[in-house]
Structure formats: structure tokens, C-alpha cells
Chains A and B, each alone.
Chain A
Amino acid sequence: MSATQAPHQAALAALRLAGAVTGARSQRISVRVDPGVMRAAAARLGLTNPSDVVNASLAVAAAPDRFKAWWTDAEATLPDDFELAV
């Protein structure tokens, strides 16, 4: 993954790996949103089309959090005598 990749692109890639992406925007929803939050999300995601912003925001919210998964599942495998190199 590139460090410059937009957040929703990384999220979509993770969701694709998890088998959650259908590839079709077939579900229609109607929602009211806070326009300030919508503007902030558009700016962070680098998107302008409201439909794209909502789709990208959903992807970011739904993507699995790799660090939380590591934090929860990591086994205590590092010996007590381990010391960092610096």
C-alpha cells in the first residue's frame, strides 16, 4: 500500500480482501447529513461528488482495523529479556 493512498482506497482494498465489496452501487438510501461534516469528509477524502463521499466514508468506517486486530490477538511471544536496538 502506498503512503500517499487516500484513506478510502486503502479501506476498499481491505474490504475487497475480506470479500465485502460487491462492485455495484445498487442500494439506494436517502439520508440527511450535517453539511459541515460532509465538507470535512470531502476535503479529507479528496472527493467532491456527494455519492462518492458517502461511499468512501462508509468504506473507511467498515474497513477492518489491522492494528486493533493485532492488539487484541497478538500472542506474548517476545521474551522478557528483549531490548530495543535504540
Chain B
Amino acid sequence: MPNPNHPTAGAQALTHDPDRYVRPFPRRRDTELPFDPGALPADMPLMLDTTVYVHRLQNKIPAPIHALVEARPVLHCAVAVAEIAISAGIMDPAHATTERYRTPLLGLLHGIGTLEMRTPSPMAWAEAGMLAGILARTQFGLARSRTALPPGAMEQQRESRRRLLNDALIFLCAGEQGAILVSGHVADMDVLLRFRPDIRVLLYRA
């Protein structure tokens, strides 16, 4: 029998019972999703999804989101920082475009103080894994067997699952920190909010 005084990874993962989810959620209209910065509680810090940093470097952040980030305390999820760092590290030093792409990423990383970084808890990892698995199967068609896929597609499917896992980790990390997650991943956040509507999210379209 599980001991309630010693919670397990299994209990944490089963916060979301995979047997309950066999069909995809219908996509909601934007009017049903949190797009309004004016509707946010006044005293909560922000956490940024990885694409927010990238969109800032591409000058694609809508003005109201830009102003909000200027005005609020900002926490940084270590998962997002890792996604930026791997993108800088993977570039071939000998390639002609590396400096053009890597320099802005390093400038961003130098702007993030480690004191403002937060990591998902072990419980969040267990929950995020289950969430990502359910979503991969029900929502995004990422549970196809190797034999059903053309050559090379299995690796692409694994990569898409990893992206979902990272999205779920950042989402849960924001919830644990009492922060509002700012994200341009509208489709992913729409379904993650079905599972954890208690977590505050602000969406935008770049």
C-alpha cells in the first residue's frame, strides 16, 4: 500500500490518469484563452516561455507584452535557459552564420542572473512526463510505432515529444513559483491549461 507520508513518483505522475484521456481536446477560440494582460493579478511575477526570448530577438513581441515584461519581476525557468544554451552550443564554429546567430543568444544568457533562475521540482518532472505523454498520444499524434513511420520519422517524433515535455516542465515550474507564464505556444498552452487551469498563463501571437 502506498504510504501517504512518503509520496511516490507514481502518485505524482498519476495526478493525471492516462486512462481518462483517449480523445483530443477541441481547440478553444482565442476569446476563451488568457490573451488579456489587463486581466492579470497585479502582484505576480512573470516567467517566460523559451520562444518569448527568441521573439524578443526577432522584434516580434507585441507592445502590451513588451511593456508587461518591463514592468514586472521576471523569473527564468532553467529549462528555457537550457534550450537557449544548447542552441548556442550546437552551432559549428566554422560555419559562416554561427557568429550572427550565436552572439545574440549569448547576449541574452548574459542578461539572465542565476539568482532569478528557477528549476522544476522533482514532483513537477514526474507530472510533466505524464502530461507530455498524454498530450503526445491524444493531442499531437506522436504515439505512432516505429513500423508505422517512414525512415527517420521516429527521431522526429521523439524530438517533438521532448519539446512537449519541456513545455510541460516550464508550465509547471511557473505554477510552482506562483508566476504567470508568458507564452506564444498557443496550441500547447491551450491543452496544458485543460489539465492545470490553476496555473496562470498569458498568451500572445507573434
Contact = CB atoms under 8 A, between A and B. Distances in A.
Contacts of A75: 104
Nearest to B104: A77
Interface string A52-79: 0000000000000011111110111111
Given A74-B104, A78-B57, A86 B86 contact: yes
22 contacts: A1-B114, A3-B115, A10-B113, A10-B115, A67-B111, A69-B111, A70-B111, A71-B74, A72-B70, A75-B104, A76-B59, A77-B57, A77-B103, A82-B57, A82-B101, A84-B54, A85-B83, A85-B86, A85-B89, A86-B83, A86-B162, A86-B163
A5 to B, nearest CB: 7
Given A84-B87, A86-B162, A74 B107 contact: yes
Main secondary structure of the interface of B (DSSP, over half): helix
Interface string B30-64: 00000000000000000000110010111100000
A80 interface: yes
Contacts of A84: 50-51, 54, 83-84, 86-87
A75 B159 CA distance: 30
A71 B69 contact: yes
A44 to B, nearest CB: 11
B70 A68 contact: yes
Interface in B73-125: 74, 76, 83-84, 86-87, 89-90, 100-101, 103-105, 107-108, 110-117
B58 A82 contact: yes
B157 interface: no
Nearest to B86: A85
B74 A67 contact: yes
Interface residues of A, number: 23
Given A70-B108, A78-B104, 4 more contacts: A1-B113, A68-B70, A84-B86, A86-B162
A72 B66 CA distance: 9
A20 to B, nearest CB: 17
B102 to A, nearest CB: 10
B54 A74 contact: no
Nearest to A3: B114
A86 to B, nearest CB: 6
B166 interface: yes
B58 A66 contact: no
A85 B103 CA distance: 15
A86 B160 CA distance: 9
Nearest to B113: A66
B115 A67 contact: no
A10 B20 CA distance: 48
A86 B51 CA distance: 11
A56 to B, nearest CB: 13
